[in-house]
Amino acid sequence: MTRWLLHVDLDQFQAAVEFRRHPELRGQPVIVGGNGDPKEPRKVVSCASYPARAYGVRAGMPLRSALKICPDGVFLAQDLATYAEASEEIMTLLRTFPGRVEVLGFDEAFLAVDTDDPEQIARDIRSAIEELGLTCAVGIGDNKLRAKLATGFAKAVGKTGDTDNTDSDATQATGTGIFRLTADNWTELMAHRPTTALWGIGARIAKRMSALGIETIADLAASDRDLLAKEFGPNTGPYLWVLGHGAGDTDISEPREPVGHSRSETFPADLTEHAELDAAITRLATQVAEETIAGGRGIGRVGVTVRTKTFFTRTKQKKLPRPTTDVDEVVRTALLILHTFELDRPIRLLGVRVEFGRE
C-alpha cells in the first residue's frame, strides 16, 4: 500500500462551534473575537463565518474595521475553552481512523495513512465530522506540503479558509470537500501561481524573490539554488527551491510533550498604575497556575512578559526552589518578577508563563 498524507481542515471552526450551540445564527455573518464588543480597542477577529467573509472580514482584522465593512455582523466573544473542547473531540475522532495523527492547531491536523484508497478514508472522515455538527475539507497529498495545499482546492468556491492561500483562484476549487495534489498534477495546478501560494512563503519573502525576477512557483523551481542561498542564507535559500518543486515531508511529526503553559492579555487601554499592573499579573498568574495544577502538573519556573506602548517586549524568569502546586507561591513569584522591571512606561500587554516541574 502507498503512504498518503491527509490534511483535515475544519471549516470556519470557531463560528461553526458557535452554530452548534446557537443554530439560529447559521447563515448569518458571525464574527468571533475579543469580548464580542466590536468597538473594543486592540481586539481582532479570530474567526469569521463565510457570510461575513463575503463582506471582506478576515481573521486578524481589527474588530472596529470589521464593524465598518459588516455593520450587520453578529459579534460574539471568543470562548477558547469551548473551542478547545470541540477541538479535542475532533482530534479524538481522527485517532480512531487508521494511521497516525499530527495536530497542527484547534482546527487542523495531518494523518499519515497507508492505503490504496485515500479518498475513501477522506469521505469517512468528513461523514464522521458531519455527525458532530461540523464540516471539513480534506487534502490528500504524497507529502505534507501538497496535502496542506490540496485543502484549498477542496473547499467550495467562494468559501475560502483563513489559512488557505490556494483558494485565491476560485475556478480551481472543486467544492467537493476532498482533493488530491501530487507530483503528477503539481506543475499543471501550481506552476502558474504566485510564490505566496506556497505554504511557508509570506509577502516579505515573496517581495525579495520578486526583486530577483522570481514571481511564480515555476520561476522558483527554475531558479538558481546558489543565488537563493546567497540572498536568503545557506539553509532557507535551498529550502525555498525545494518548496518550488512541491517537495516536503512524507511522514508526520511525533507529538511533543508540552513543557509549559501561558496566558497573556492585551489591554484596551495602556496600564500606568502599579496597582493595576499587580492586579493584572495576579489574575493571569492565578489562572495559569490553576489550569496547570488542574492538569496534574507541578510548576518549576515562572516567567513574566511585559510589552510597553512602544511595543518593546521583554521576558524575565525565575526558577522556583522546588516544583510546586501552590497557586499563591506562583502568584507571589510572578509579582516579584514584575517588580524587577522598570515600570515607568505605559504597559500594553502582560503575560505569565509557567514551565512544568516534578514535585
What pLDDT digit, counting tens, does each position of 181-237 carry? 999 999 999 999 999 999 989 999 999 999 999 999 999 999 999 999 999 999 999
Instruction: Find out whether 49 and 11 touch, Cβ atoms under 8 Å.
Output: no
The pLDDT score that the predictor gives to residue 172 is 42
Domains and CATH numbers, the chain: 2-14+81-188 (3.30.70.270), 15-79 (3.40.1170.60), 191-244 (1.10.150.20), 260-357 (3.30.1490.100)
Which amino acid, 169? D
The pLDDT score that the predictor gives to residue 312 is 84
For residue 178, what pLDDT band results from cuts at 50, 70 and 90?
very high
| Whether the model pTM is above 0.75 | no
Q: What is the DSSP letter of 170?
A: G
**286-340 residue pLDDT tens:** 999 999 998 889 999 999 999 898 878 889 999 999 999 999 999 999 999 999 9
The pLDDT score that the predictor gives to residue 253 is 80
pLDDT beyond 70 at 158: no
pLDDT beyond 50 at 171: no
The arithmetic mean of pLDDT across residues 65-77, rounded, is 96
pLDDT beyond 70 at 173: no
Task: For 300-321, give the DSSP string.
Answer: EEEEEEEEETT--EEEEEEEEE
For residue 240 the three cell numbers come to 525555498
Determine the Cα–Cα distance for residues 172 and 141; give it in Å rounded to an integer.
17
Determine the Cα–Cα distance for residues 288 and 358; give it in Å rounded to an integer.
17
Q: How many CB atoms lie within 10 A of CB 216?
A: 17
For residue 118, what pLDDT band results from cuts at 50, 70 and 90?
very high
Q: Confirm whether 88 is a catalytic residue.
A: no
Determine the Cα–Cα distance for residues 318 and 190; give it in Å rounded to an integer.
49
Q: Is the dihedral of CA 216, 222, 228, 231 positive or negative?
A: negative
Instruction: Find out whether 6 and 138 touch, Cβ atoms under 8 Å.
Output: yes
- Report which of 326, 325, 357, 336 is spatially closest to residue 260, judged by C-alpha positions: 357
Q: What is the DSSP letter of 216?
A: B
Instruction: Find out whether 268 and 42 touch, Cβ atoms under 8 Å.
Output: yes
The pLDDT score that the predictor gives to residue 85 is 86
Determine which one of 108, 131, 290, 291 is catalytic.
108
pLDDT beyond 60 at 55: yes
User: Looking at per-residue confidence, does 161 or 146 come out higher?
Assistant: 146
Residue entry with cell 512544568: 356
Beta strand 260-271 with 136-141: parallel, antiparallel or unpaired? Answer: unpaired
Beta strand 178-181 with 136-141: parallel, antiparallel or unpaired? Answer: parallel
For residue 166, what pLDDT band results from cuts at 50, 70 and 90?
very low
pLDDT beyond 60 at 91: yes
The pLDDT score that the predictor gives to residue 313 is 83
Weakest-pLDDT range from 90-104, 120-134, 169-183, 208-222: 169-183
Determine the Cα–Cα distance for residues 217 and 203; give it in Å rounded to an integer.
14
Beta strand 74-76 with 30-32: parallel, antiparallel or unpaired? Answer: parallel
The pLDDT score that the predictor gives to residue 156 is 53
**18-43 residue pLDDT tens:** 999 999 999 999 999 988 999 988 88
The pLDDT score that the predictor gives to residue 167 is 38
**SS3 at position 17:** helix
φ, ψ for residue 254, nearest 5 deg: -70, 140
Determine the Cα–Cα distance for residues 244 and 242; give it in Å rounded to an integer.
5
**237-281 residue pLDDT tens:** 999 999 999 998 998 886 666 788 888 888 888 999 999 999 999
pLDDT beyond 60 at 126: yes
